[in-house]
Chain A
């Protein structure tokens, strides 16, 4: 599934049409707003790039970044502790991960740390991990200080943002930041990449134009 990871990118002749596909996994305790965060991203300003899916557990969204169209395949995971054992099946092969916690619930931050640790230990070595302190709109109930999380993120080499799925604060920024940090030079196999790209992106050109609007 993720083998193709950074899948296809278009041929080098037209940089604007370069397309990268990434698998992004969502981790975090139950009810921290993982799905809401992604939905805000997907349903927000990037409607045009959204691909129809049967449900919200799997979403696909493309964003335009400079000369590249980045397509995220977003794999949601169940946050329940009892399903923790299934998580590795989802983050295997993922090029990016967003670990989400609820700033009003310290235990979710602890759980997030555990996820980060697990990712760094078991996931792909080059995985880009972002830490998202969600529910920033509930600042009055904050129990996890921004600085604490920020420090942790710096120490462990993570992207960090406080977000609000409710207000859309930092949602797109978070995904764009991840997109920027993704290696755009992947390419295992040119032919392959090309083919995959074709498969993955129906309309590269449209995407590219769109991307310009949305991305910036």
Chain B
């Protein structure tokens, strides 16, 4: 059991760690919300039936405890002091024990049941994460994770959880996106890849105080750059090293430790601690209300800082500061909440980290933790002072937690939900029999605290595994006590946070939720609904999955739903605590284990799911599999695109981790292919089943496009930046769009020929060329058009506004609207109100879509509705253009023409020119024609033909452009490409763009840049024979003079003509089989003896490039 669990964790963590950190967080955050409910189940499952029972019984008693323990946990918070001492003291003791627990825990899921005693692990967490863990343990988790934690748990568990819940309430922010969501969603912005320190400093200097960047390079310290207030007399940009302590991270000079960078950032966004000012996310991010907005921002990465999106940060800052000054006191409570959040998060990471940490466990860390608490307390106090400001900015830290659960939590939710479902197979069965009743109970419970209790019993019946039930019970029982405690804590402000931290465990979160629910009202319903919706989404996606899975999900959802209710008032952070608890448990374990920062982040992401999965897998293999599957689904729930991404991210992260890290990482790396445990195996199969290879490839390409360290990513970035800069220079919309299309076509052409794409292809999944092209097109739409969509539409609108065409359209629209159907030539039924509404929705969807292809698909759907409504009056009759066009006119006259006008242009100019449109082309033309017809409607009757001239011409031009584009594309591309190996044949091939006029000299310069070697020379090997190249030769002519497959360009040290002449090299860029280039093919590097060095070089090169 344990082993399986561990492996899973590792897999998860690995993805999280590397570049994926941001993604991982989201997952974790989302999970956290769901986790609350789910986590408990998961944990119970591990311990198996017995533990749950104990939990349920224990829970009631615990309620009183929680208050006491929570305080201790909060360490960071000022109020903590009182509790902190208590917690701290236990913690110190625990630390030593912790290390051992970690290793064992992963392996021994079953043992966990006894684990309740394991508190020791928690002690390590003491630093900050521990609290959460403790709470978790106390609640229900203790059974599962406990082994290590149990010791600590015993003391801590019950008390901490309750308090934390209270503080969470601040979450009232309820808005869809919590702070954490935003933080996680914008990771690529504040933790951009490929930024040099100088660049970071330059960027920061232009920002307002509080702006920050996190830079981390592999194997190097993570740096936090903070823009300090100018009046401070300190340097404008302060750089702090983010240090890794075991599995925790902390700022150099501060003893506050966090599970991961996200928690760290979250905390310092509320409390400045050792900073001069609290951290502040760019306003564009903090004001984002939709995931889509975040995605657009995130897609820009470091470019965000120089983009238009970052609007008037200074002004905003001022506003924020004012707000802060005005409402400092109100937000004090929030701080505690944030603290809690951290703990919760920590648990997750810890779980994942366990894998890593198992080897690293250090008693010393535990000791340190013990020491830390005091410091933390002091710091917490400080932070509280600063927190008000932050709160004002973000309105409320607490919200983050909730949002995490709801927003990013998608994945988490699933995990949580999944975990419950998994854990409670028995429950499920029971439910199946009389499941509806149980479900109803749960629902009722969710709505109100009392109801929640009822559900518990069913759960208990079903099996110990039922996590949700325990949590509820605990919450209900403890609720009162906790509430009281919370109330006091809240007053203190800081205490709650500590408590929450101590609680750490998912149980804690549950308890909190219960408390909240009881104490409160149901203001949090909105949040709950969100959570539920998320869960539902996940469920929908899962539809593919078996019915069982569905039921499980439902259960999970229900569970999750109840938890959310905890916070009656939106203001309360309650939701977060729930999520936190789930994570916390894992975090505790992981924290104990202690691992590298990167690992932590990774662990954080993965941990949540893994915990749930572990139990499931071990206990209920089938369900576990389902659960695993659900996670991906959950991801998808947020959005199909997003779904794919998470998986991709995981994979990538796994790969990276494997490459750069421990063997564990390697295991993770091949989650799909290699599974240590059954659980993993199941997970992998589920994932592979759910996520198509195609989508995964698409995601990889998107990821590549976002990676400034890759050549392609750089191209995309530069193209995008160029487009944004020049967008306002265009005088016609056609010109503007054409340029963008051309850029996309070039990028596509490059990628199709590049080794970068080849490196991403899975040998077992070969695509025909046209399929590959369409995948690349899709990925490009996502990486290029998605972030550009908004600016494009703004520019189009500007151009059309200045040309009065939209005005003219609006004027004539009313004329058409006023004309009779007879005047329009309508001879059939026209769409009725309901159909019109459907069409309107379709057209609105069309407008929101960024992909031209998808827009066209949506247009076809709208047209289909028109056809359907036409045949109402004459069933069986088929309608040709004579009938259709007039009705189309009728419909368009009642639609948002200005938006559609822009949409039509967008589709016509940006769609893939290589695609045969067929039907889409016909209806796009018809729509365009109808729009033009409306523009000229009043003149129509008298001067039809004259008026149509312009239209005719524009269509004509459009066709010509398309033809030209096709021909251009047919020729391959505007540019050609060469693959160059360095320093020997077959090693480290890179694809370089080459113009017909590029000389060898210029190509050598390109090589110098890409290979980071100035002194090398460029040669070509033909059939293994070294040929020297003249600097003035044209690169392409050299290439063309060679027999494909028999030559290889090599960039090598001067004096060493041919390292491996005998070896035939990959001729063209794409073909290059040996491709080691990006980190994707570590195995290859290992394969050849000489590769070792090469690989190292590559890595260095890449890092340099990133800088």
Residues of A within 8 A of B (CB): 1-4, 7, 21, 26, 30-31, 34-35, 38-39, 53-58, 60, 73, 75-86, 88-90, 92-93, 122, 188-189, 191-192, 195-196, 198-200
Contact = CB atoms under 8 A, between A and B. Distances in A.
Contact of A188 (B770, B879, B952, B970): B970
Contacts of A35: 878-883
A56 to B, nearest CB: 4
Nearest to A93: B959
Nearest to B864: A54
Contacts of B948: 84-86, 88
Given A54-B860, A54-B867, A88-B948, A78 B959 contact: no
Nearest to A34: B880
Contact of A83 (B885, B914, B919): B885
Given A85-B940, A88-B952, A89-B929, A7 B884 contact: no
Contacts of B880: 26, 34-35, 38-39, 56-57, 76
Given A3-B962, A57-B880, A78-B885, A86 B933 contact: yes
Contacts of A2: 959
A89 B921 CA distance: 11
B918 A3 contact: no
The 5 closest A-B pairs by CB, nearest first: A35-B880, A85-B948, A3-B963, A189-B970, A1-B921
B916 A21 contact: yes
A90 B925 contact: yes
Contacts of A34: 880-882
Nearest to A80: B825
A1 B962 contact: yes
A82 B970 CA distance: 39
Contacts of B241: none
A32 to B, nearest CB: 9
A83 B941 CA distance: 9
Q: Which of B881, B925, B928, B941 has the most CB of A within 10 A?
A: B881
A79 B867 CA distance: 18
Contacts, number: 159
Nearest to A38: B880
B769 A57 contact: no
B825 A1 contact: no
Contacts of B940: 82, 85
Contacts of B945: 84-85
A140 to B, nearest CB: 25
B321 interface: no
Nearest to B913: A3
B554 to A, nearest CB: 35
A86 B941 contact: no
A85 B947 contact: yes
B956 interface: yes
Contacts of B860: 54
Contacts of A78: 825, 881-882, 884-886
A55 B933 contact: no
A83 B955 contact: no
Contact of A192 (B882, B933, B941, B970): B970
Interface range on chain B (Cβ under 8 Å from partner): 35 or more
Contacts of A188: 966-967, 970
B802 interface: no
Contacts of A81: 944
Contacts of A7: 916
A83 B926 CA distance: 11
Contact of A199 (B881, B916, B969, B971): B916
21 contacts: A1-B922, A21-B916, A30-B825, A34-B880, A34-B881, A54-B860, A54-B867, A55-B864, A56-B878, A56-B880, A57-B884, A58-B922, A58-B923, A78-B882, A80-B885, A83-B886, A92-B956, A122-B952, A188-B970, A189-B966, A192-B914
B927 to A, nearest CB: 11
A117 B346 CA distance: 78
The listed residue with most B CB atoms (<10 A of its CB), out of A58, A196, A199, is A58
B818 interface: no
Nearest to B889: A83
B917 A1 contact: yes
B925 A79 contact: no
A58 B490 CA distance: 67
B863 interface: yes
B768 interface: yes
Given A57-B926, A90-B925, A92-B959, A83 B916 contact: no
A82 B941 contact: yes
Interface string B899-932: 0000000000000001111110111111011101
Interface in B458-507: none
A85 B944 contact: yes
A56 B828 CA distance: 14
A21 B918 CA distance: 10
B974 interface: no
Nearest to B972: A191
B882 A1 contact: no
B925 A1 contact: yes
A86 B951 contact: yes
A60 B879 contact: no
A30 B919 contact: no
Given A1-B962, A58-B922, A39 B878 contact: yes
A1 B920 CA distance: 9
B944 A195 contact: no
Residue from B769, B880, B918, B960 having most chain A Cβ neighbours under 10 A:
B880
Given A30-B882, A55-B863, 9 more contacts: A54-B860, A56-B880, A57-B879, A58-B922, A83-B933, A84-B948, A86-B932, A188-B970, A199-B770
Contacts of A30: 825, 882
Contacts of A75: 922
Contact of B933 (A39, A85, A195, A198): A85
